Amino acid sequence: MSSSGSYFKKALSDMTFDTAYGDSIRHLYDSGYSPEEIQVYLDTPSLTVEKIKEVLQKYEESLGPDKACHYEYVKEYDSFGHSSFVRKRINDKDD
């Protein structure tokens, strides 16, 4: 009985966490944020970098090897000629 109770509590906890943070974490990751930057951006004491990395690992596994991505920094110029570096997501394989 206690093992099924603990299984249910863990499943409920995981579902609650994913509902509260999952989409935000995945969106920020897709936007180019690192796990450390995501933790700072969401600013929640219970949200650890390890938990964020767990979510991202499951997310990348669900994407499959064809959707693996990397990032590069690209120098861009605004209309006044000021330069800045922008982090861009690049895929290993084209669709």
Q: What is the mean pLDDT of the chain?
A: 81
**Of 48, 50, 28, whose CA–CA distance to 39 is shortest?**
48
pLDDT value of position 94: 47
pLDDT value of position 80: 92
Q: What is the pLDDT of residues 6-34, one digit of tens each?
A: 889 988 888 888 888 888 998 898 888 88
Is the confidence at residue 39, as pLDDT, over 70?
A: yes
Q: How far apart are CA 23 and CA 16, in angstroms?
A: 12
pLDDT value of position 86: 78
pLDDT value of position 75: 85
Query: 85: Cβ–Cβ under 8 A, 6 or more apart, which residues?
Result: 73, 74, 75, 76
Q: How far apart are CA 4 and CA 30, in angstroms?
A: 36
Instruction: Spell out the domain ranges in the chain.
Output: 2-67
